[in-house]
Amino acid sequence: MNETAHLRVNGQRLWDSIMSIAEFGPGQHGGSCRLALTDEDRDGRDLFVRWCEEIGCRITIDDMGNIFARRAGRNNQLAPIVAGSHLDTQPHGGKFDGVYGVLAALEAVRTLHDNNVTTDAPVEIVVWTNEEGSRFAPAMIASGVYAGVFEKDYAWSITDSDGNSMVDELRRIGYLGDVPCGRNPIGALLEAHIEQGPILEANNRQIGIVTGGQGQRWYDARLKGQDSHAGSTPMPGRRDALVVAAEMISMIQALALDFAPHAVSTVGEISVIPNSRNTIPGEVFFTIDIRNPDAKVLAQMAAQIETRVAAIAGQHGVVCQLDEIWDKAPVEFDPDCIAAIAAATHLLGYSNQQLVSGAGHDACQVCLVAPTSMIFVPCAGGLSHNEQESAEPGDLEAGCNVLLHAMLALAKNRQGAA
Ligand code: HGY
Ligand code: MN
Ligand code: MN
């Protein structure tokens, strides 16, 4: 008999906690701007830590600023069942990306606390540092250090556009912990998240059982042409870095369409030097983000971008330095974790489907070293990385109930009962 099958989370308390975190780093248009390791990120982290301490969790901060809030189990020698996500946002982020996964995990643990349920294995809530990779690139850096994908010294040395390093910012906001990142074990990781895409809403499904994540590659492109007078420089022979960048950006967009239906490509950042209306731009910096669920196709896309960028630069006498700063292979999640999510969804009777994540997540790093899967819920119009991002309270509550019951199932010692 499953003594905990009747448990349900408090959807209102979950919603209220999401709205409380959203007060830190409010955006201009109803969303959030809480970039990694800013004062706003610190304030949201501090509130989260207070909430966890109120229900008796023990807090551990590692040296990448990852927060682990532990609720003891009957057998604390067992590796913990961990649930969580990230609190940092995009510059024009929404209230739910990342935050939902952290607070759904908190709500699940609050529900255990309210009902005096002791699990066999301990459970932990995790907040991963700098998932978004907006202020400090690349993304999922701290979960990447945990998974051994990135060296800690490399991650510490990454700087933002003002030259502030991650390690200095971790220290400044008081989250440079003393536990080496990657040292604490994870028995299984579950991450609840809004889908950030249109599939669940289009198919009228409340729960996404996530089987893996697509691959992605990030590049920095630096073009060097020649500053020159906009009025007196004849068109032939100009080395206009911005015109060349525009041709490259059109090629990058067309390339994704060539590899339809799964390929995507984005140029999200661009800067022009000297950025003066009557000087031909001599320098341009822009970023490239390409993704595909198939590693072979992603490699083909990458090879074509590298070849075509060099050819376009050569045609215009502009020097282009193209640096690959991140190569993230597609991942498959753990069958037992997927099964636990599917069983919880079935127990609760929610409509559902399996899908591969289009967005990257910390779970896509941690799955390299621990059994992992994700639970998706729909978001309006599939919109995310946009201040208009929104989700239905009922869907958020449903995903949180699935998280609770999947955690309970995984926390059962093979011999014991939760
Ligand atoms: O880029 C991503 O997929 C994630 O939202 N950081
Ligand atoms: Mn996210
Ligand atoms: Mn995001």
Parallel/antiparallel/unpaired status of strands 283-292 and 372-377: unpaired
Residues, CB-to-ion distance under 5 Å, ligand 2? 97-98
DSSP state of 261: T
Question: How many CB atoms within 10 Å of residue 391?
Answer: 22
Q: Are 140 and 360 in contact (CB under 8 A)?
A: yes
* Atom of ligand 1 at shortest range from CA of 359: 3
Q: Give pLDDT, residue 99.
A: 98
Q: Whose CA is nearest to atom 6 of ligand 1?
A: 132
131 pocket-lining for ligand 1 (C-beta < 6 Å): yes
Query: How many whole angstroms separate alpha carbon 285 and alpha carbon 147?
Result: 30
Assess whether the C-beta atom of 132 lies below 6 angstroms from ligand 1: yes
CB neighbour list of residue 398: distance below 8 Å, 6 or more residues apart: 206, 207, 348, 350, 377
CA dihedral 32, 36, 41, 46 (to 10 degrees): 140
What average pLDDT does range 272-301 have in this prediction? 98
Looking at the predicted structure, is the pLDDT value of residue 39 above 60? yes
- Amino acid identity for residue 167 in this structure: V
Estimate to the nearest angstrom the gap between the alpha carbon of 401 and the chain centroid. Answer: 22
Contact predicate 279/229, CB 8 Å = yes
- Residues of the chain with pLDDT > 90, as a percent, come to 98
The number of residues making up the chain comes to: 418
pLDDT at 413: 73
**Measured in angstroms, how far is the CA atom of residue 37 from the centroid of ligand 1?**
17
CB-facing half-sphere around the CA of 50: CA atoms within 13 A = 9
Q: Whose CA is nearest to atom 2 of ligand 1?
A: 360
Closest CA to 227 of 269, 271, 272, 270: 272
- How would you classify the pairing of strands 58-61 and 67-71? antiparallel
pTM listed for this prediction: 0.96
Give the pLDDT confidence score for residue 364 in this predicted structure: 98
Q: Residue 362: CB within 6 Å of ligand 1? A: no
**Bridging pattern class, strands 279-280 and 228-229:** antiparallel
* Assigned token pair, 206: 């409340």
- Residue 61 to residue 143: CA distance in whole angstroms: 13
Q: What is the pLDDT of residue 1?
A: 61
Residue 417 pLDDT greater than 60, yes or no: no
- What is the percent of the chain where pLDDT is above 70? 99
pLDDT in tens, 215-244: 999 999 999 999 999 999 999 999 999 999
- What are the chain's domains? 11-214+330-413 (3.40.630.10), 215-328 (3.30.70.360)
From the CA of 144, the nearest ligand is 1
| 249-277: average pLDDT | 98
Token pair listed for 177: 């912990």
Could you report the per-residue pLDDT of 160-200, keeping only the tens digit for each? Answer: 999 999 999 999 999 999 999 999 999 999 999 999 999 99
